[in-house]
Amino acid sequence: VLPPINGDFYEIHLRLNEEDRAVQLKVREFMEREIKPIVNNYWLHDEFPHEVIPKFAELGLCGVTYKGYGCPGKSFLMEGIIAMEMARIDASIATFFGVQSGLSMGSIYMCGSEEQKQEWLPGMHEMKIIGAFGLTEPEVGSGAAGGLTTTAKKTADGWLLNGQKKWIGNATFADVTIIWARDVDDNQVKGFLVRKGTPGFEVEKIKGKMALRIVQNGLITMKNCLIEEKDRLQNAESFKDTARVLQMTRAGVAWMAVGTARGAYENALDYTRNRKQFGKPIASFQLIQNHLVEMLSNLTAMQSLVFRLSELQDQGLLKDEHASLAKVFCSLRTRDIVSRAREVMGGNGILLEHNVARFVADAEAIYSYEGTKEINSLIVGRAITGMSAFV
Ligand code: FAD
């Protein structure tokens, strides 16, 4: 009898409390039952499975760390475990959830007024309101901190937004999009809650992606889009506030990378134990075992790292450089793991139905979004040397 397939080699699950472990198993069961059977087809057709949103809502895990406003106020560790379990089956679905629960709800929770939190967060927790987060622009990605070109101009009626945002996840169907724009008067970045259907706010679906194809990324164009003062995020004063949100979500992306790596490793291990060549399972060959062990070594290191990362977060000790280091390390190692997973599966490794090809493609997007390897490395470099390499 073969041992069970398990990517948690150092049994990190034994460090979880009962509640976290129960949530882990609940999300795993949900993803296996509801998402795994449909995901390849949606990925292939570049579409989003809207019918699963109410089922996600039933899990009651959206905005799991926030206190109040209908949210349960649980640990960052629990949030990380959720992200990992989702990405273990599909990184697009984990990304959709991350945009909703982390980037969008997080912007409101961390930068909104009491009234704004009360207006938006309960409905977003129940996933009756879907959010998007618009920071990146067609010509401004890594340099968003000092370079945003989308403008906000205060007028007697409110704020006029002008500019474009690119890559905005969930934007094609979001009920509310957080838009980060530069105030032309004080030159500081401010956040705005833009409601679906606002005149002057157009969203075009980005087509032709080779990664995270289920995520509906939009190109947003704003032409004299009028936003009332009450829909300006009242506690976002500058890009430093945007960065507070990104610090939290980057930690979640590190967990997502771990889930992607784990899904690919577990599928590859299963395949190699069953696939026979030269009359033997290919898993019995030394060179295949070497690949599997290298994958597992990295995966185990990644899991240990994100576990401690969440502890830092829960202890209120998380710094930008902690989140950046985890995001760089995990997304880099994930790229290696998914590539080896594909390799040990030979030709079948490039077929969607074998559940690794999708991970190979999706790892590329995880590697680049929420700060590229270079940008996150420079954030760590600045912290350890005391010298900024940013212009
Ligand atoms: P660029 O900034 O043009 O970078 C190109 C290359 O130059 C990279 O390798 C980069 O590391 C390197 N580089 C840049 N500056 C330096 C430097 N100073 N030193 C060394 N190297 C440097 N954004 C949102 O706002 N909301 C979303 O929901 C969202 N979702 C996304 C989903 C997907 C699938 C993708 C692919 C992107 C998403 N993004 C989103 C945007 C994402 O955050 C950006 O793609 C990312 O920040 C990189 O920006 P860029 O693509 O413009 O690359």
Encode pLDDT of 13-62 as tens digits.
999 999 999 999 999 999 999 999 999 999 999 999 999 999 999 999 99
Residue type, position 340, single letter: R
What does the pLDDT read at residue 171?
A: 98
177-235 pLDDT, tens digit per residue, is 999 999 999 999 999 999 999 999 999 999 999 999 999 999 999 999 999 999 999 99
Q: Hey, whose CA ends up nearest to atom 31 of ligand 1?
A: 167
Cα 10 from Cα 308, distance rounded (Å): 14
The predicted structure's pLDDT at residue 348: 98
CA distance 112 to 114: 7
The whole-number pLDDT of residue 242 equals 97
Helix (H, G, I), strand (E, B) or coil at 190: strand
| Pocket perturbation via mutation, ligand 1, pick of 136, 140, 378 by most ligand atoms within 8 A of CB | 136
Atom of ligand 1 nearest to the CA of 374: 11
Query: How far is the centre of ligand 1, averaged over its atoms, from the C-alpha of 374 (Å)?
Result: 10
Supply the pLDDT for residue 390: 83
End-to-end CA distance of the chain: 59
CA torsion sign, 124 to 100 to 25 to 355?
A: positive
| pLDDT at 30 (0 to 100) | 98
Q: Determine which residue's CA is closest to atom 12 belonging to ligand 1.
A: 374
Other C-beta atoms within 10 Å of 35: how many? 21
Closest CA to 166 of 201, 140, 144, 137: 137
Residue nearest to atom 36 of ligand 1 (CA): 365
Residues 180, 145: contact at Cβ < 8 Å? no
Helix axes 18-30, 76-89, angle to 10 degrees: 20
- Of all protein residues, the one whose alpha carbon is nearest to atom 43 of ligand 1 is 369
Q: How remote is the C-alpha of 114 from its chain's centroid?
A: 26
Say what the pLDDT of residue 149 is: 98
Copy the structure tokens of residue 328. 């760089």
List, in sequence order, the alpha helices (H) in 179-285. 239-274
- The strand pair at 201-205 and 189-195 is best described as unpaired
Residue 316 has pLDDT above 90, yes or no: yes
pLDDT at 391 exceeding the cut of 80: no
Atom of ligand 1 minimally distant from the CA of 140: 52
- Count other C-beta atoms under 10 Å from residue 143's C-beta: 13
Under a CB-based contact definition with an 8 Å cutoff, are residues 303 and 337 in contact?
A: no
The residue whose CA has the least distance to atom 46 of ligand 1 is 369
Look at the alpha carbons of 166, 169, 171, 172 in this order and tell me if their dihedral is positive or negative: positive
Residue 115 has pLDDT above 70, yes or no: yes
List the structure tokens of 257. 């990378």
Residues 91 and 366 sit within 8 Å (Cβ to Cβ): yes
CA-to-CA separations, 138 to 34, 181, 184, 226, in angstroms, rounded: 35, 14, 19, 22
Average pLDDT value for the chain: 97
Q: From ligand 1's centre to the CA of 378, what distance in Å?
A: 14
Ligand 1 binding residues, C-beta < 6 A: 99, 133-136, 141-142, 167-169, 212, 215, 217, 365, 368-372, 374-375, 390
Average pLDDT over residues 284-313: 98
Q: Which two tokens stand for residue 286?
A: 């030394």
Task: Say whether 217 sits in a helix, a strand or coil.
Answer: strand
User: Where residue 173 falls among pLDDT bands split at 50, 70, 90?
Assistant: very high
Question: Which pLDDT band holds residue 1 (cuts at 50, 70, 90)?
Answer: confident
pLDDT in tens, 327-377: 999 999 999 999 999 999 999 999 999 999 999 999 999 999 999 999 999
Mean pLDDT for the stretch of residues 233-245: 97
From 103, 39, 360, 142, select the one nearest 247 (Cα to Cα): 103
